[in-house]
Amino acid sequence: MTFSMVELVLVGLIFMWAGFVRTGLGFGGAALGLPLMLLIGGSPVYWLPIIGLHLLFFSSMTLFKSIKKVDWPYLKHSLLWIIPPTLVGVAGLLSLPDTVVIIFIYSITIFYAITWVFDQKITSHKPWVDKFLLIMGGYVAGTSLTGAPLIVAVYMRHVDKAYLRNTLFVLWFILVSIKMATFVLIGVAIDWVFSLSLIPIAAIGHVIGIRTHQKIIENDQVFKRWIGRALLLISGAGLLKTLSTL
């Protein structure tokens, strides 16, 4: 895929933003970045391997110094509910038409945006709701890597705050590894050079996110409210644009 100079600058800013969100919140880099990437052009199958490579690279860097602060028992338990629907989601991504997947991505992003704008939290207080959210989060993650808010709602209830971000990074690493292995095995074309060239740019956002993580967490509702408004406009426009092509 070829880009104009303006598009390249926008792509760089989007990946910088995704890196910032990923470490600033501990999740959501794909959920808050993919809708913007799709507005520029390309299919989900083009962008997701690039996002996946970045997730593997940056999550491994973050965990290198913090691997002991991971809630391994709960991670192993939750994977029993997350991995099977993730595999189903990956199959859907590769078999469904691009337009259907794009509509799904914009729709789930609009759902997240509405919950953030109106300060509504996705919460779980019962075991069966935990399982439902993990299953749905796994499926959405398999389809588009945007299932984080659903899974985080469960993890926040079961994982100590001091272990939460690192445990989530291990989870993303596992899910993305499954997805990337599938892409390679079935021969999906991956733009390796472009992916690697974007890493230094995304690293800028990654570092800023690490340094501002505590401030973002302390102002979580305000941050999400503003981001939700922007996402609602962007994803709404993207959804209308996609629907108009049908």
Distances 169 to 25, 41, 63, 64, 146 between C-alpha atoms, Å: 11, 28, 7, 11, 14
Distance spanning both ends of the chain, measured CA to CA: 23
Sequential pLDDT tens for the chain (246 residues): 778 899 999 999 999 988 888 777 766 677 778 888 888 888 888 998 998 888 888 877 766 766 778 899 999 999 999 999 999 999 988 888 989 999 998 998 899 889 888 888 777 778 899 999 999 999 998 888 788 888 988 998 899 888 887 888 889 889 889 888 988 888 888 889 999 999 999 999 888 888 887 777 777 778 778 888 888 888 898 899 888 887
**Amino acid 234: pLDDT:** 87
**Amino acid 131: pLDDT:** 94
**Amino acid 26: pLDDT:** 65
Residues 126-176: tens digit of each pLDDT? 889 999 999 999 999 888 878 888 898 899 889 988 888 788 888 988 988
Number of H helices, E strands in the chain: 10, 0
Structure tokens at 229: 């408004």
Q: What is the CA radius of gyration of the chain?
A: 17
Q: What is the distance between the alpha carbons of residues 19 and 51, in angstroms, rounded to a whole number?
A: 10
Q: Please count the residues of the chain.
A: 246
187: left (phi over 0), alpha (psi -120 to 50) or beta: left
Residues 166-193: tens digit of each pLDDT? 888 889 889 889 888 988 888 888 889 9
CB 148 within 8 A of CB 27: yes
CB 138 within 8 A of CB 145: no
